[in-house]
Amino acid sequence: MLKCEICGKEIENSQYHGNILCSSRCFTINFWREIIAEKDKHIIIHGECYCDGGENAPGAFRGFSGRRFWIRFKDGSTLTTNNLWYQGKIPDEFRDELPDTAEFYTPDHIRFANNLKTPF
């Protein structure tokens, strides 16, 4: 018998890779607890969690198909990346532990370029 790592329920086998978990509910709790444990690696904007995979990281896959994002953190520092990964909306029960850390913004030069594309 295996024991669910979250609720302790005994189960025949775990359908989740890497962890012994009894249900999608326990999977969700485990997922967010792992993020809380390393929360400085994550970016939280409007209650949704993202992770920067690193600008031009090796490998064929990029978050959001390589779309560029500009992020401004609460401390005023900024980040731009073409490899942002979306990890989901933070459930209400974890919001206290995972408050917003940043916001998206558009740099002035991009806004200027976008305005040029609009004919009227």
Q: Which of 89, 86, 106, 107 is nearest to 98 (CA)?
A: 89
Q: If binding is defined by CB under 5 A, does position 84 make contact with Zn ion? A: no
Q: What is the DSSP letter of 90?
A: P
Beta bridge partners of 49: 44, 88
87: helix, strand or coil: strand
| Closest approach of Zn ion to the CB of residue 26, in Å | 3
Of 2, 3, 7, 80, the one binding Zn ion by CB under 5 A: 7
Of 22-81, binders to Zn ion (CB under 5 A) are 22, 26
Q: Which residues bind Zn ion (CB under 5 A)?
A: 4, 6-7, 9, 22, 26
